[in-house]
Structure 1
Amino acid sequence: MESAIVPLSQSPAAERPAVVETYELQKAYRTGFWLNQKVVSLKNCTLRVFEGETFGLLGPNGAGKTTLLKTLLGIVRPNGGRALLLGQPLGNRAVKQRVGYLPENPYFYDYLTGWEILQFTAGLFRIPRSVQRQRIPELLDMVGLAQSAARKKQLRQYSKGMLQRIGMAQALMNDPELVFLDEPMSGLDPMGRYQIREIILSLKAQGKTIFFNSHILSDVELICDRVAILAQGELICIGSLDNLLGTTEGYRVKIKGGNPDVLKNRLAEMEFRDGYWQGQILGSPQDLIASLELMGAQLISLQQSRPSLEEFFLQQLEARGVRFSS
């Protein structure tokens, strides 16, 4: 499959102001004992993220996702290119007051409680005590830690999911316009992933712009307006899910047995392969299944014609010979 880079003019979000803009952004590191080895993390990275959208940056381990995010936050300095955050050059202190950030592995002082770490974060932003008294309970309630046992417990007693949720709360303490999340669902069980996903959806409903890295593609497919795939430091795809995956909602089936004269009226592109009849359903799947029962045929598989984001992701990487790192 060819690269599916969608022109900005085709994006519905392109009518809104861009809050993240990168132009030919580059980053390379020197490694080795003599610093004589060069590792390129970003290659001429150009993208835009628009106000109010949820943007997912995808890629295998080592693709450069975290490097891009840290570069945008001013934690890492680029070697080339330029970028703007909320219309200002990287490193602008006023802009940092309007941004929230959850790192992949948040580290907090173990002996603080959930309430105390939020108080500490509020102090960094110089949020008045009167505002803190209202804001902290709201955030604890949003992330499901409002019960007294959780908010008074020291962080060393928190589970991975609880730490991720308190990390999300501290990222939102300053009520940011733009939120960066680095692998927010990494290492969480299904319930923890669901909770983080619901928080992201609530932020989206508030009109906040969310930029997050992830390799859990099923979650990305549920919540993102647009996605980009980064591999070996290079952006290879960017666009909405409909742009990248297609909009068809048809179904393909694999059937064992049956009357081919009947099936040809039910299936388009029908063919007999590997001992099964296969093709695209004409009409509703329910009608086909009912006719199979009358024929005594067996339904082997039923799937949407549109590929999943995971299938598309793997196709794009395999087409470029990208090897997966562990």
Structure 2
Amino acid sequence: MSTVDSGAGVQAAADLVAGLPPAPAAWCTGLRKQYRRHLAVEDVSLQVGRGEIVGLLGPNGAGKTTVIKMLLGLVRPDAGEAMLLGQRSADPAARARVGYLPELFRYQPWLTAAEVLALHARLSGAGVPAAEQRDCLALVGLAGRGDDRVGGFSKGMQQRLGLAVALVGRPEFVVLDEPTSALDPLGRADARDIVLELRSRGVAVLLNSHLIGEVERVCDRVVVLDRGRVAASGTLAELLGQREVRLHLTDLSPAAQQRLAALGRVDREGEWSTVALSADDDGTAVPDLVRDLVSLGALVHAVEPVRISLEERLLGILRDGAASRAAGPS
């Protein structure tokens, strides 16, 4: 083969690779980890796409933190494989572009907040200038506290500093393990805004939190772990099922009843009608329905959304799992 042909082949291969979508921010399959007689994780597979927020839920001891540590290459799995940003998670080069806030952490109390951040910026190798580090402190609500020693920080302030450390290296993937555990309601709202801002910049986030309401507000998808296994996973719409709306209606003409039935399944109980909404509803179905019903002469006395909460769904998943284990093999 001539040099020209070889060069053309290399360029064609490069063009093909350039046209492929980027690898997921995190991917794992078949992860397993056992500590002596305790099986902590068994056959866990999950994926976090670029610019996606994935929530990791489950009771204490479900294996969430173990899965996170195996994903990050901090714990070696007994079986399975994990990738970060298209590279094996055990490769330090992959972890260089990952921000991590562990559940339990401690910084040197004699250092100032600015010194802690400068240390981690240097460790990341990202070459973050001092001004950008100050901006990172301001982002988490620690503006003006950079020269204060960490030993004098409250737990909430240390949690904010930990979040700044996770973000200072310009990560493409951020793992937050209980990031709001020590924060007050204002701090939780700030953390939620930061997570949403990361998504808008294309940064992927894996969020492990016991605050189910926070997960429901920000996450695109949820993975539920129970006793080291994936008990359920999917988008919120998939996990929570089809949404419904209840309407208190009177003076329903045949035409109004037909319009009601056209939206979806209708369950009638006296003057109340419960209508199933399409999973791809963009928020206009209910206002359009009410407008049409009124134009057809119906009296609309009340409209109530009906949807199971993520907390209710999580409890149902865990109770079903406990019942299955109690029943034993059939």
Taking structure 2 as the reference length, the TM-score comes to 0.76
Structure 2 gap segments, 5+ residues each: 1-20, 276-285, 325-330
Does the C-alpha gap of structure 1 residues 186 and 305 become closer, same or farther in structure 2, counting only changes over 3 Å? same
For 1:56 and 1:91, the matched residues in 2 are separated by: 23
User: What is the match of residue 252 of structure 1?
Assistant: 246
User: What is the match of residue 18 of structure 1?
Assistant: 24
Instruction: Indicate the SS of the match to 1:320.
Output: helix
User: What is the match of residue 35 of structure 1?
Assistant: none
For 2:304 and 2:75, the matched residues in 1 are separated by: 44
Query: Does residue 1:306 correspond to 2:307, yes or no?
Result: yes
CA displacement at 1:45 relative to structure 2: 0.6
Higher alpha-carbon Rg: 2
Does the C-alpha gap of structure 1 residues 189 and 230 become closer, same or farther in structure 2, counting only changes over 3 Å? same
For 2:165 and 2:237, the matched residues in 1 are separated by: 34
Does the C-alpha gap of structure 1 residues 159 and 119 become closer, same or farther in structure 2, counting only changes over 3 Å? same
Query: Does residue 1:215 correspond to 2:210, yes or no?
Result: yes
Instruction: Indicate the SS of the match to 1:69.
Output: helix
Does the C-alpha gap of structure 1 residues 223 and 259 become closer, same or farther in structure 2, counting only changes over 3 Å? closer
Give the AA of the match of 1:71.
M
Mapping for residues 284-303 of structure 1, pairs under 5 Å: 284=290
Taking structure 1 as the reference length, the TM-score comes to 0.77
Instruction: Indicate the SS of the match to 1:63.
Output: coil
CA displacement at 1:123 relative to structure 2: 2.4
Does the C-alpha gap of structure 1 residues 88 and 261 become closer, same or farther in structure 2, counting only changes over 3 Å? closer
For 1:279 and 1:247, the matched residues in 2 are separated by: 16
Alignment equivalent of 1:228, drawn from 208, 223, 226 = 223
For 1:92 and 1:193, the matched residues in 2 are separated by: 33
For 1:142 and 1:247, the matched residues in 2 are separated by: 37
Higher RCO, 1 or 2 (CA under 8 Å, sep at least 6)?
1
1:114-142 Cα shifts (integer Å, max 9, x gaps) = 111111112223454xx432221120121
Alignment equivalent of 2:186, drawn from 173, 183, 191 = 191
CA displacement at 1:174 relative to structure 2: 1.2
1:250-281 Cα shifts (integer Å, max 9, x gaps) = 3237x8xx99999x979942347xxxx86516
Alignment equivalent of 2:130, drawn from 129, 133, 148 = 133
1:171-222 Cα shifts (integer Å, max 9, x gaps) = 1121011111101112322111111111111111111011111121111111
Instruction: Indicate the SS of the match to 1:321.
Output: helix
Of the structure 1 ranges 224-233 and 159-168, higher mean CA displacement relative to structure 2 is found in 159-168
User: What is the match of residue 163 of structure 2?
Assistant: 168
Alignment equivalent of 2:236, drawn from 235, 238, 241 = 241
Query: Does residue 1:143 correspond to 2:140, yes or no?
Result: yes
Mapping for residues 1-326 of structure 1, pairs under 5 Å: 17-30=23-36, 38-128=37-127, 131-146=128-143, 148=144, 150-248=145-243, 250-252=244-246, 268-271=266-269, 279-280=273-274, 283-284=289-290, 304-321=305-322
> Which is richer in helix?
2
Give the AA of the match of 2:139.
M
1:274-317 Cα shifts (integer Å, max 9, x gaps) = xxx865169549x99x9687xxxxx8xx7533312111111111
The answer (yes or no) to whether the contact 1:106–1:164 under 8 Å persists in 2 is no
Instruction: Indicate the SS of the match to 2:70.
Output: helix
Measured on the aligned residues, the alpha-carbon RMSD in Å equals 3.0
Aligned-residue sequence identity (percent) comes to 38
For 2:126 and 2:230, the matched residues in 1 are separated by: 38
Instruction: Indicate the SS of the match to 2:25.
Output: strand
For 1:261 and 1:173, the matched residues in 2 are separated by: 60
Structure 1 gap segments, 5+ residues each: 1-14, 31-37, 294-298
